[in-house]
Amino acid sequence: PLPVDSGVSFGVPWPRGVVGKGDRFVLSSNGKPMPVQSWPLAYWPDGSIKFTGLATVVAAGDASPVTLRVGQGTPAGDVRVTKSTGSVIVETGVLRCSIPTSGSNIVESMSIGGKEIAVNGQLVCILQHGSQAEFDEAPPRERFVSTIKKVDVEQSGPVRATIRIEGMHKGTKTAREWLPFSVRLYFYTGLTSVRRVHTIVFDGDQEKDFVRGLGLRFAVPMAIAGVAAIGVG
C-alpha cells in the first residue's frame, strides 16, 4: 500500500486482435472505479493494439487487487492543459503550474488553492574548471542556469499530463551554453505532487569540465522571512 495518494503509470500487453484502436478501458479497485488514461505503445500487424500505456491515481493505503477490462464509463480526471502566449498552464484540480516556453525558468509559478507556493524554478549547475588535486586548491567555478529551447505537451490529461522541456545550461559569467537537458514533468489528477525526470548529456571536456553541483532551485514565499531559496537534487 502507498502511504499517500499517488500517480501510477504502467503498461499492459494484449494478445493479437483483442483490443482495437478505439477501445477504452475500465479500471477498478475492490469494485470501485478508478480514473484511467490510456495510450497505444505498439500494434500487431492486423492493426490491433499490442501494448498499452495506462495512468491512474491510487488511493493511500489501498492494497486491493486492481482489475482492468475493456469497457466504458470510467470516471474522467481533472487535469487540464492550456497553451497561451509564452507559457503552458497545467491544472490538476488542486495544483496550478505555469511553465514558460522561453527564458531561464522551467517553472514560472506553482499554486495550491489559489495560494502561490513556489516561483522561478530553475535548473542550476556549478561548473569547476579543472580538477582539485590538493585539498587547499580552489579551481575557478561558474554558475550555470537553464535556458529553455523547446517545450512540448506530450500528454494533456484528463488523468495525466506530461510536459517535456528541452534546453541548455548557460553560464552567468561567460554566457557559454553546454550540458543539454531534457526535463519531463508529470502531473496527475487531484494531486499536488509533481514527478520530475531530469536527463542531461555531457558534452564538455572530461579533462577540464567538472560538474560540482546540479539540481533544481525555487524561490519560496515565506510568511515572515520574505523569499528563501531551496535546492532540490
Q: What is the pLDDT of residue 85?
A: 87
Q: Alpha-carbon distance 47 to 113, whole Å?
A: 44
Q: What is the pLDDT of residues 77-110, one digit of tens each?
A: 999 999 988 999 999 999 999 999 999 999 999 9
Q: What is the pLDDT of residues 44-58, one digit of tens each?
A: 999 999 999 999 999
| Residue type, position 152, single letter | D
Cell 477498478 belongs to 28
The mean pLDDT of the chain is: 91
- Helix ranges (H only) for 50-146 are none
Q: What's the pLDDT band for 223 if we cut at 50, 70, 90?
A: low
Cell 531530469 belongs to 198
Contact 79, 44 (CB under 8 A): no
Q: Give this prediction's pTM.
A: 0.89
DSSP symbols for 128-158: EES---STT----EEEEEEEEEEEEEEEE-S
Q: What is the pLDDT of residues 10-69, one digit of tens each?
A: 999 999 999 999 899 999 998 889 999 999 999 999 999 999 999 999 999 998 999 999
CA distances from 162 to 15, 142, 155, 201 (A): 28, 32, 5, 21
